[in-house]
Amino acid sequence: MDNEEIIEKATRSCDKSYNFNETHDKSRPLQMWFQDSDEGKVLFIVFYTQACRWSQCTGCNLPSLMSKHHVNFKPIIRQIDHIFDQPELLAKGDEIKKVILSNNGSILDEETFSSTALIYLVTKLNLHFKNLKTVSIETRAEYVDFSELDFLSRTLKEGDHPTNLEIAIGFEVFNDKIRNEVFKKGLDLQVLEGLAKKLAKFDFHLKCYFMQKPIVEMTNKEAIEDIKKGIDYLSEISKKYNIRINMHLNPTYVATGTILERDFKKGLYQPPKLSDVIKALRHGKNKGISIFVGLFDEGLACEGGSFIRKGDEDIIDTLHEFNKTQNYDLL
C-alpha cells in the first residue's frame, strides 16, 4: 500500500468527510504567523506537503489543508526560499527568538518532509535569525531518533547564537482510553517517556499539545480535570528527566468534516468555554512547566463551532498576556 492509499484509508476509517487541498501553490508555504510568548517573538510556519500519514485522530482536520499526493524536496525548498524572500519577515529577524516548524503532521517523517529540505531550512535559520534561541519541530514521537537529534544538535549550534531544539508532539488527552480508543491518537505513555529520555540526553525541550474537551463524551468538568491531570503528569516527567516542558493547551473547536461536527450539528456537543480553560490553567501554578493557550483555529472550525464566544474579549486579552508573562495572578 502506498502513502496515498494509507492516508485515504486512515481518513475514511475515522468517518472524516473532508477532501484534501490539491489547489495550493506548491512553491508557497501554507501559513505563517507571529505569536508572543514568554520566550519572546515566535514565528510559526506551516509548510505545504503530503498530509499526515497517521490521519486517524478523530477530531483533527489539519490534513485537509495538505495534499494527498507526494510533494518532493524541490517545491519545499522553493517554499523555504519564499519565506526568506519576505522583506517584512527579514526586518523582524533580530526579534525572532523561536521558530515553530509544522506541516500539520510530522516534520521528521522523511516520507512527507524531505530531509534535504530540512537541512536547507536549518541553514537558512542559522543565516538569517542571529538571536534565535529555539527551533520547535512538530512531529509524531515515533519519527524521532538519536541520529536525527544528534545531527540537529550539531547543526543548530553552528549559527551566530547556539540554538536549542524543542520537539512538539500531539498528546491531546491525558486519559489513556479517550486518547487512544476514542480519539485514536496512537500514543502510549511509555513512548512519551522514551522520547523524554532521548531529548534529555541533548538537553532539548519537549512541547505537548493538549486539547480541552476534544470529544462529545466529556463533560466540562471532566475536561477540566483531564487537563489538570495532564499538567501533573508533565510536571512529574519534567522533574524525572530534568527536561524543560511546555504544555500547549488548545480549547477544542469543532473541525469541519469530522465526527465532532456531526455531533455538534445534532446539538450533542459545545466547545469548552474560555472561563473553563482558565479553571484548568490555574492548576499549572508552581508546577515547573510553562503553558501556552492556543487561541487560533486556523480557519478550520465549522460555522458556530469556535470556542470564542461573544463577550470573550476580556478573557482573550488576559490569556494573551498570560502567554507572554506566565503570570498566574492574571487568572
What is the CATH classification number for the domain harbouring 69? 3.20.20.70
Which is it for strands 40-46 and 96-102: parallel, antiparallel or unpaired?
parallel
Pairing label, strands 134-138, 164-172: parallel
pLDDT of residue 162: 82
- Residue 172's DSSP bridge partners are 210
pLDDT value, residue 299 = 85
Indicate the number of domains in the chain: 1
Does residue 161 carry a pLDDT above 90?
Answer: no
Q: Which domain holds residue 76?
A: 3-330
Beta bridge partners of 170: 209
φ and ψ at residue 12, rounded to 5 degrees: -75, -25
Cα 89 from Cα 8, distance rounded (Å): 36
261, 257, 274: which is closest to 314 by C-alpha? 274
pLDDT digit string, tens, across residues 84-112:
999 999 999 999 999 999 999 999 999 99
- Answer yes or no: is pLDDT of 213 > 90: yes
pLDDT of 185: 96
Cβ–Cβ < 8 Å for 187, 194: no
Radius of gyration for the chain, computed over Cα atoms and rounded to the nearest angstrom: 19
DSSP assignment of 168-210 equals: EEEEE-SSHHIIIIIS-----HHHHHHHHHHHHHHT-EEEEEE
At 1, the pLDDT band (50, 70, 90 cuts) reads confident
Given the C-alpha cell 522520547, which residue does it identify? Answer: 195
How many Cα neighbours within 13 Å face the side chain of 245? 31
pTM value?
0.96
**Residues 237-262: tens digit of each pLDDT:** 999 999 999 999 999 999 999 999 99
